[in-house]
Chain A
């Protein structure tokens, strides 16, 4: 199978072009460095060709871990046979041609050396046209001796032309000055500047409106206020916007359960379907709309160009905790899921600040915690509104939980910054500011939908098997007659001394133990356990069962604190092991955060049970 290699500088629109060429849904965002791994997909135009998307780099001389991955992968692709490579497409941002040409010249020289054909895709040509500007495509093509295509990855313009060229024969580029230009930075810069000034757009592309938006969003007072408001709306939306969807999913599941469960004759299969499938798996599915909304809103911020400004706003405050403004995006990604957050931390060139960011990310309130928080909030916080109905108490509680989670992450980073290793390499903060863009709602919706689907696919099977095991242990040997004397009841009672100091009975203890596989399993496990216990009752929401289980608000708070701090995600630890190259950090994190979580839960339970 042939390969089409897609390279380009960060934020050149490479991933959007990849999506156009393959029909796939690779994550795109208006923030430099979103693609941190190579991705491959089959070309829409040629099923026998793979399109490979490389992370964006400014130069083939890497200075960060993120760039190293891309540069090494590109050089190893250059070692392939000529027959294997259909072409190398180098994507340039036509509005900032000089920056893209610097990389393009390096790519051209390297491809000339190995005889690979190259196409230059001058992307965002639609933006130039909107401002009545243009690139001299023919002149640039003639000068460099390679095809240059004006492309708009957003509208699909020029994509057919790329496919048409690839299906024919393209001559590889000729070396301009031997290998000199690829190795001499000065010559390369001079050449890129000359080409950009001769063939690039002759006008001012940085719009006045951008400066106006920056004046507001980076204003000393209004900027900070806008930031807090935007972040508050983000968390409020998780409850307010998701509530109708969650109600609809819950109603749907209950309706389905009432139709399906009676089909099975009374017996263990009937009880299994009611308790494990609808009680366990169903309880978890109710929270998927919140993950959809969270991903959508985070995507909205990424696509608009605001996140880069937010990184600037956060830089100084984050420096107080030993982090950098560049830690902001990995940490915010960690709010959706720690795994992309850990990958995104590659954009931090400073090894020391990357290490501190790794420490903070697992403490960010990720979406896997959302079902747990959602359940506990629904059980303990009334669904009332205050201040004229504008602020929901449940949304406010979620905001507070998220805020405390973030503060915990910052404090751990600050502590480790002061006591941790000092000899790690450090590099200063330099961040490209992308132009503001109107977010593509269709792309965002597709991404949020696929993220929700991924969440179900990843967690669903785990929850199913855990529910099956938990249900079997809880149902037998007395066929659901008495949960306390079941196998699970005996195991739980053996574990109870560990959890009784924080006011939790053995059922919560079992749910916590299994949640070390994945946090969201907690909700499914409780759903299964209460399903067995209350099998004679009508199916009611899990939150109602938690409320009537006798658990105190102090224990509820202790549970929140435990889930806020414990490192309970095997996938996150495995990702961290891959990124750091050893199990040392994940193992230390698992033990350290586990002990810290238990201690915090005990302290909170002890204090609040005296106060409440």
Chain B
């Protein structure tokens, strides 16, 4: 008998693929408290559902949707937001 594949993986916002959804777990300590506070105000807060909607190439900021708003986040901030990506 083989073990069932996990239905979610822990990663960060930047590594989400287009269309993937996930639950925000928190922020890394490298993100300044003021930025953490603003992200939370915009809806990127722990336990919030987030979806990656657009992934332009060449390192351009990616689009992330939370509630009915979409923000573009560059790598420097997106990779400091920890997320549990839902698979399948």
Q: Please pick, from A58, A201, A315, the residue contacting B42 in the complex, using a CB distance under 8 A.
A: A58
A99 lies within 8 A of B43 (CB): yes
Q: Would you give the shortest CB distance from B21 to chain A, in whole angstroms?
A: 13
Looking across the interface, which residue of chain B has its beta carbon closest to that of A219?
A: B56
Q: Does A438 contact B (CB under 8 A)?
A: no
A316 lies within 8 A of B60 (CB): yes
Report chain B residues within 8 Å CB of A315.
Answer: 60-61, 74
Report chain B residues within 8 Å CB of A218.
Answer: 54, 56, 60
Q: Please pick, from B60, B69, B76, the residue contacting A313 in the complex, using a CB distance under 8 A.
A: B60
In the A-B complex, the 5 residue pairs with the smallest Cβ-Cβ separation, listed nearest first, are A220-B57, A428-B77, A429-B74, A433-B70, A428-B76
A384 to B65, CA, bound (A): 49
Q: Does B72 contact A (CB under 8 A)?
A: yes
- Of the listed residues A205, A308, A325, A428, the one surrounded by the most CB atoms of chain B closer than 10 A to its CB is A428
Q: Please pick, from A59, A95, A223, the residue contacting B68 in the complex, using a CB distance under 8 A.
A: A95
Q: Does B25 contact A (CB under 8 A)?
A: no
B69 lies within 8 A of A428 (CB): no
| Apart from A218-B56, A430-B42: 12 A-B pairs, beta carbons within 8 A | A58-B42, A96-B68, A98-B43, A99-B69, A185-B40, A196-B67, A211-B53, A428-B73, A428-B74, A429-B77, A430-B39, A432-B72
**Main DSSP-derived SS at the B contact region:** mixed
Q: Does B82 contact A (CB under 8 A)?
A: no
A215 to B19, CA, bound (A): 12
Report chain B residues within 8 Å CB of A63.
Answer: 34-35, 37-38
Interface residues of A in 290-334 (CB under 8 A from B): 308, 311-313, 315-316, 325
Report chain B residues within 8 Å CB of A61.
Answer: 37, 41
Q: Does A206 contact B (CB under 8 A)?
A: yes
Interface size on A, residues (CB 8 A): 38
Q: Would you give the shortest CB distance from B49 to chain A, in whole angstroms?
A: 11
Q: Does A214 contact B (CB under 8 A)?
A: yes
- Of the listed residues A196, A219, A429, A431, the one surrounded by the most CB atoms of chain B closer than 10 A to its CB is A429
B38 lies within 8 A of A430 (CB): yes
Interface residues of B in 57-88 (CB under 8 A from A): 57-61, 63, 65, 67-74, 76-77
- Residue ranges of A at the interface with B (Cβ–Cβ < 8 Å): 58-59, 61, 63, 95-99, 102, 185, 189, 196, 201, 204-206, 211, 214-215, 218-220, 223, 308, 311-313, 315-316, 325, 427-433
A219 to B54, CA, bound (A): 9
Looking across the interface, which residue of chain A has its beta carbon closest to that of B80?
A: A428
A432 to B54, CA, bound (A): 13
B63 lies within 8 A of A433 (CB): yes
B68 lies within 8 A of A206 (CB): yes
- Residue ranges of B at the interface with A (Cβ–Cβ < 8 Å): 32, 34-35, 37-43, 45, 53-54, 56-61, 63, 65, 67-74, 76-77
Report chain B residues within 8 Å CB of A59.
Answer: 38, 41
Report chain B residues within 8 Å CB of A215.
Answer: 54
Report chain B residues within 8 Å CB of A427.
Answer: 32, 34-35
A144 to B71, CA, bound (A): 28
Q: List 24 A-B contacts (CB under 8 A).
A: A58-B38, A59-B38, A98-B43, A99-B43, A99-B67, A185-B37, A185-B41, A206-B65, A206-B68, A206-B70, A214-B63, A215-B54, A220-B57, A312-B63, A313-B60, A316-B59, A428-B73, A428-B76, A429-B72, A429-B76, A430-B38, A431-B61, A431-B72, A432-B42
Report chain A residues within 8 Å CB of B42.
Answer: 58, 99, 430, 432
A432 lies within 8 A of B73 (CB): no
A63 to B56, CA, bound (A): 27
Report chain A residues within 8 Å CB of B69.
Answer: 96, 99, 432
Report chain A residues within 8 Å CB of B45.
Answer: 189
Looking across the interface, which residue of chain A has its beta carbon closest to that of B58?
A: A316
A312 to B57, CA, bound (A): 11
B68 lies within 8 A of A312 (CB): no
Report chain B residues within 8 Å CB of A316.
Answer: 58-60
Looking across the interface, which residue of chain A has its beta carbon closest to that of B67?
A: A98
Report chain B residues within 8 Å CB of A185.
Answer: 37, 40-41
With A218-B56, A312-B60, A316-B60 as contacts: A189 and B40 at CB distance below 8 Å: yes
Report chain A residues within 8 Å CB of B72.
Answer: 308, 311-312, 325, 429-433
Q: Would you give the shortest CB distance from A536 to chain B, in whole angstroms?
A: 62
Q: Would you give the shortest CB distance from A200 to chain B, in whole angstroms?
A: 8
A220 lies within 8 A of B54 (CB): no
Report chain A residues within 8 Å CB of B58.
Answer: 220, 316
B71 lies within 8 A of A433 (CB): yes
Report chain B residues within 8 Å CB of A99.
Answer: 42-43, 67, 69
Report chain A residues within 8 Å CB of B40.
Answer: 185, 189
A154 to B59, CA, bound (A): 37
B67 lies within 8 A of A96 (CB): yes
A196 to B68, CA, bound (A): 11
A166 to B26, CA, bound (A): 44
A215 to B57, CA, bound (A): 11
Looking across the interface, which residue of chain A has its beta carbon closest to that of B65?
A: A206
A313 to B61, CA, bound (A): 8
A313 to B32, CA, bound (A): 26
A98 to B70, CA, bound (A): 13
Q: Would you give the shortest CB distance from A430 to chain B, in whole angstroms?
A: 6
Report chain A residues within 8 Å CB of B37.
Answer: 61, 63, 185
A134 to B57, CA, bound (A): 37
B56 lies within 8 A of A223 (CB): yes
Looking across the interface, which residue of chain A has its beta carbon closest to that of B31?
A: A428
Q: Would you give the shortest CB distance from A106 to chain B, in whole angstroms?
A: 10
A201 to B76, CA, bound (A): 33
Report chain A residues within 8 Å CB of B63.
Answer: 214, 312, 433
Q: Would you give the shortest CB distance from B57 to chain A, in whole angstroms?
A: 4
Looking across the interface, which residue of chain A has its beta carbon closest to that of B37?
A: A185
A189 to B57, CA, bound (A): 33
B73 lies within 8 A of A430 (CB): yes
A427 to B76, CA, bound (A): 9
B73 lies within 8 A of A214 (CB): no
Q: Would you give the shortest CB distance from B62 to chain A, in whole angstroms?
A: 9
